[in-house]
């Protein structure tokens, strides 16, 4: 095996290793979450939150692997951004007060049920 | 917060690895046209969402703002418009490579302001069309500067990150990989000796750095998993409630204590089976942890909670047998029927005192001093009773949320078994109103007690207005107080004279010595205020002159606590007769549903 191929394979292996570690740690956090959280009363939302723990670990490395960067700074900024963007998904739900206010008005039942979810 | 840190640390690591890979091998095809534009947009949009989320997290530094609220508002109000108006800025108004970093950031930020202004003008038009009132426009212009400034500030992280990310490197990208066929990448013309300067990191080094990075996250993750005042001892406490020593003993005898962690700062305990629900006894209350009075109150509350969990219709069910066993441990005796248990409980529940061993309560006849100073065991309403009286409380809070107030029983409102029992009792109460049973029972009791036979509710209300004569004006507790006081102070002036005056007024007798009143006070037939008060309360259960309003209210409560919506009392009564034994608690813990 030539030196160049070895370089390429080594970088790929390192990348995969980091990816796997991220997934592994996320799975660990997911496990702890499922052990601690009480999902009985709001299972849909609970499972949604659980899913958002694994979501960045799976998809962000795939996104980064396909991205091209011109500088090291750009590589760092653009690689961190998707993870940060997805970190808000877990909490991005309409606050309860807003849901109630909206649903008290003449809003369509479909919209209300979406907000309630 | 864990997701944020994971994204930050792992993103940096993967980005650097990718950067090294790109140095070694450039991408095979230079994208152009629509695909390039789309990629540019995606990059900008990702930065925009990330910037908004970071701003959202920063807002949560203010104690009154909850993380979910801040991010939810950010997500709804800011992310969407920004994806349409801000994210396309680098695509359509790209800043040239010759511009320095400061100017680049400033230009992006300035264009953000234009976009924000455009957005607010659009909102103004929308408001004018939708509301068609001059007042909304006035409010709008009043709040415009604040909205504009707020949106512009949220743009700052995006403008900064975009500017820095697009800043061209002082040194051009160097590719180091020699030409190879099977790598899938284009060849680099550099000499092999140059490639040696860009040796890829050893796998063990990558592993070590990755593990160190994850470890860096672990500590903050553990920290964020515990409510801030509790420190690491509170890891896993999704909700924490400050409470007193008696509640600790309540849980000990009720559902059990799963774990406890005691330090000089206080005691954190977790309820068995619910490790995420934590009770905190602070240092002040911890000093009285082993006070027998605290133990008594805690255990008596537990006995009351168990008592109310028992369903008389399911006396022989396996679960009720388990509850009966718990009660036997607490009360030291078994009961053959629910009626026997109920009679015993009504007679003795105020006189239960911790025996000093195990979780055993014994009936303690009050001493003269205790009678004089009313030192009875006062228990709190059990969660079942609370839910029965106000089933609407469950509408406000889902079963997993933290309940404010920190009272003893509030923690137990999270319990599904108690919710089911409380809601079933509440439903049965409303059905009794609809079937007329409540009215009949109340009328029968009133007539039996008073010997009167009034036709309307108003007449009964008039009858119970004002202070009643003896024996309806003195309660059993008040009589015991008097007996205790007479024994202790009845021979001492000025109490002697004062007692005689008060007792003459209360009893209608004309004795001259306080001790002469004792036989009268000891006779239960002379102290029936409790019955009077019960009767007065029962007048409220009588059907009013407008029975439709009473029935309508009962049906609306039933609609609230069940998944049914009948409109006639007869249908409700029939439904309950057929289904009451098969109802269960809904998944969200707020309604009764019929098991199929």
Q: What is the pTM of this model?
A: 0.56
Which of the listed residues B414, B437, B456 is the one where a domain comes to its end?
B414
Q: Which residue reads 């950010």 in tokens? A: B74
Given this model, what pLDDT does residue B227 score?
58
pLDDT in tens, A57-111: 888 888 888 888 888 888 888 888 888 888 766 655 444 433 333 333 343 444 3
C-alpha B548/C-alpha B450 separation (Å) is 28
Which of the listed residues B392, B414, B436 is the one where a domain comes to its end?
B414
CA B104, B106, B110 angle in degrees (round to 5)? 120
- Whether the CB-CB separation of B351 and B300 falls below 8 Å is answered with no
Interface with A, mutate which of B3, B83, B130 (most A CBs under 10 A): B3
B585 has which bridge partners?
B592
Given this model, what pLDDT does residue B395 score?
60
C-alpha A112/C-alpha A117 separation (Å) is 9
Kindly report each contact of residues B303-306 with a partner whose C-beta sits within 8 Å and lies 24 or more positions away, as own/partner. Answer: B303/B253, B303/B327, B303/B330, B303/B331, B303/B349, B303/B352, B303/B361, B304/B349, B304/B379, B304/B380, B304/B382, B305/B250, B305/B254, B305/B382, B305/B383, B305/B384, B305/B409, B305/B412, B305/B418, B306/B254, B306/B330
Give the count of beta carbons closer than 10 Å to the beta carbon of residue B336: 8
B403 and B430 belong to one structural domain: no
Which of the listed residues B391, B414, B437 is the one where a domain comes to its end?
B414
B546 and B428 belong to one structural domain: yes
Q: B35: which 2 tokens?
A: 């695909």
Q: Does A37 contact chain B (CB < 8 Å)? A: yes
Size of interface A-B (CB pairs under 8 A): 252
Q: Is residue B198 part of a domain?
A: no
Residues of chain B with pLDDT under 50: 176-196, 397-409
C-alpha B482/C-alpha B148 separation (Å) is 72
Q: Does A64 contact chain B (CB < 8 Å)? A: yes
Contact A64 B178 (CB under 8 A): no
Contact B47 A64 (CB under 8 A): no
Domain count, chain B: 4
Q: Is residue B219 part of a domain?
A: no
> Could you give the C-alpha distances from B133 to B128, B138, B552, in angstroms and in order?
7, 9, 38
B156 and B33 belong to one structural domain: yes
Q: Which residues of B touch A81 (CB under 8 A)?
A: 11, 46-47, 49-50, 161
CA B171 from chain centre, in angstroms, equals 57
Give the count of beta carbons closer than 10 Å to the beta carbon of residue B481: 18
Given this model, what pLDDT does residue B73 score?
66
Given this model, what pLDDT does residue B282 score?
83
B474 and B403 belong to one structural domain: no
Of A41, A61, A77, the CB nearest to B165: A77
Q: Which residues of B touch A77 (CB under 8 A)?
A: 15, 47, 161, 164-165
B33 and B130 belong to one structural domain: yes
Given this model, what pLDDT does residue B372 score?
64
- Whether the CB-CB separation of B213 and A17 falls below 8 Å is answered with no
Given this model, what pLDDT does residue B199 score?
65
> Could you give the C-alpha distances from B190 to A4, A11, B198, in angstroms and in order?
12, 19, 12
B404 and B444 belong to one structural domain: no
Contact A53 B3 (CB under 8 A): yes
B88 and B48 belong to one structural domain: yes
B263 has which bridge partners?
B266
What's phi and psi for A88, nearest 5 deg? -80, -15
B241 and B374 belong to one structural domain: no
B35 and B131 belong to one structural domain: yes
pLDDT in tens, B449-502: 888 888 888 888 888 787 777 777 788 878 888 888 888 887 778 888 888 888
Domain extents in chain A? 3-116
Rg (alpha carbons) of chain A, rounded to whole number: 20
Q: Is residue B159 part of a domain?
A: yes
Range of the domain at B367: 303-414
Q: Does B19 contact chain A (CB < 8 Å)? A: yes
B256 and B331 belong to one structural domain: no
Going by C-alpha positions, the residue among B408, B300, B291, B288 that lies closest to residue B353 is B300
C-alpha B5/C-alpha A80 separation (Å) is 10
C-alpha B347/C-alpha B554 separation (Å) is 31
Q: Does B54 contact chain A (CB < 8 Å)? A: yes
B405 and B434 belong to one structural domain: no
Q: Is residue B408 part of a domain?
A: yes
Q: Is residue B252 part of a domain?
A: yes
Q: Is residue B268 part of a domain?
A: yes
Residues 80-109, chain A, touching B (beta carbon < 8 A):
80-88, 90-95, 98
Contact A88 B76 (CB under 8 A): no
B435 and B410 belong to one structural domain: no
pLDDT in tens, A22-65: 888 888 888 877 766 555 445 666 677 777 788 888 888 888 88
Q: What is the ipTM, given to two decimal places?
A: 0.74
- Whether the CB-CB separation of A85 and A63 falls below 8 Å is answered with no
Q: Does B229 contact chain A (CB < 8 Å)? A: no
């Amino acid at each position: 095996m030539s030196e160049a191929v070895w370089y390429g394979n080594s970088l790929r292996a390192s990348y995969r290793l980091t990816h796997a570690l991220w997934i592994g740690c996320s799975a660990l956090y997911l496990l702890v979450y499922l052990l601690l959280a009480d999902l009985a009363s709001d299972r849909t939302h609970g499972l949604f939150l659980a899913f958002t723990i694994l979501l960045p670990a799976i998809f962000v490395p795939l996104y980064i692997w396909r991205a091209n960067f011109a500088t090291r700074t750009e590589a760092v900024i653009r690689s961190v951004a998707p993870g940060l963007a997805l970190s808000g998904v877990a909490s991005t739900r309409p606050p309860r007060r807003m849901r109630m206010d909206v649903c008290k008005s003449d809003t369509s039942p479909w919209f209300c049920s979406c907000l309630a979810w | 917060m864990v997701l944020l840190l994971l994204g930050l640390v792992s993103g940096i690591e993967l980005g650097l690895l990718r950067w090294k890979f790109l140095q070694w091998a450039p991408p095979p095809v230079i994208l152009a046209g629509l695909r390039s534009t789309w990629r540019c947009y995606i990059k900008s949009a990702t930065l925009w969402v990330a910037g908004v989320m970071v701003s959202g997290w920063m807002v949560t530094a203010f104690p009154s703002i909850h993380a979910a609220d801040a991010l939810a508002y950010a997500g709804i109000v800011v992310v969407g418009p920004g994806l349409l108006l801000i994210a396309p800025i680098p695509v359509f108004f790209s800043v040239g490579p010759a511009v320095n970093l400061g100017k680049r950031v400033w230009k992006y930020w300035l264009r953000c302001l234009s976009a924000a202004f455009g957005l607010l003008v659009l909102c103004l038009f929308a408001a004018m069309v939708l509301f068609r009132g001059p007042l909304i426009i006035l409010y709008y212009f009043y709040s415009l500067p604040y909205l504009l400034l707020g949106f512009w500030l949220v743009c700052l992280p995006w403008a900064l990150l975009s500017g820095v990310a697009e800043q061209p490197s002082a040194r051009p990208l160097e590719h180091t990989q020699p030409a190879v066929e099977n790598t899938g990448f284009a060849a680099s013309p550099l000499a092999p000796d140059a490639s040696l300067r860009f040796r890829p990191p050893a796998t063990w080094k990558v592993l070590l750095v990755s593990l160190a990075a994850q470890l860096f996250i672990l500590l903050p993750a553990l920290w964020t998993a515990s409510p801030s005042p509790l420190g690491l001892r509170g890891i896993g406490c999704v909700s924490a409630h400050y409470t007193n020593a008696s509640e600790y003993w309540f849980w000990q005898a009720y559902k059990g204590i799963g774990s406890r962690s005691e330090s000089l700062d206080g005691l954190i305990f977790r309820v068995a089976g619910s490790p995420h629900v934590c009770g905190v006894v602070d240092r002040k209350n911890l000093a009285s942890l082993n006070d027998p009075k605290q133990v008594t109150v805690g255990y008596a509350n537990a006995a009351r909670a168990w008592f109310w969990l028992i369903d008389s219709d399911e006396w022989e069910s396996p679960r009720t047998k388990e509850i009966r066993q718990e009660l036997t441990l607490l009360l030291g005796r078994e009961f053959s029927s629910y009626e026997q248990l109920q009679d015993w409980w009504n007679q003795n529940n105020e006189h239960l005192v911790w025996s000093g061993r195990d979780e055993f309560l014994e009936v303690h006849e009050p001493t003269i001093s205790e009678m004089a100073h009313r030192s009875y065991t006062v228990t709190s309403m059990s969660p079942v009773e609370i839910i029965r009286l106000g089933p609407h409380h469950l509408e406000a809070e889902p079963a997993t949320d933290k309940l404010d107030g920190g009272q003893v029983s509030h923690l137990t409102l999270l319990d599904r078994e108690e919710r089911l029992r409380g809601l079933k009792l509440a439903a049965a109460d409303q059905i009794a109103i609809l079937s007329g049973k409540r009215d009949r029972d109340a009328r029968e009791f009133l007539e039996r007690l008073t010997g009167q036979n009034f036709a309307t509710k108003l007449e009964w209300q008039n009858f119970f207005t004002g202070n009643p004569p003896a024996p309806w004006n003195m309660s059993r507790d008040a009589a015991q107080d008097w007996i205790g006081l007479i024994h202790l102070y009845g021979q001492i002036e000025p109490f002697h004279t004062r007692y005689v005056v008060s007792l003459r007024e209360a009893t209608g007798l004309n004795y001259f010595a306080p001790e002469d009143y004792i036989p009268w006070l000891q006779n239960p037939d002379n102290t029936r205020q409790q019955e009077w008060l019960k009767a007065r309360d029962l007048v409220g259960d009588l059907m009013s002159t407008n029975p439709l309003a009473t029935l309508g209210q009962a049906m609306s409560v039933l609609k609230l606590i069940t998944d049914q919506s009948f409109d006639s009392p007869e249908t409700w009564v029939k439904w309950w007769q057929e289904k009451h034994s098969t109802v269960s608690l809904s998944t969200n813990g707020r309604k009764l549903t019929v098991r199929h």
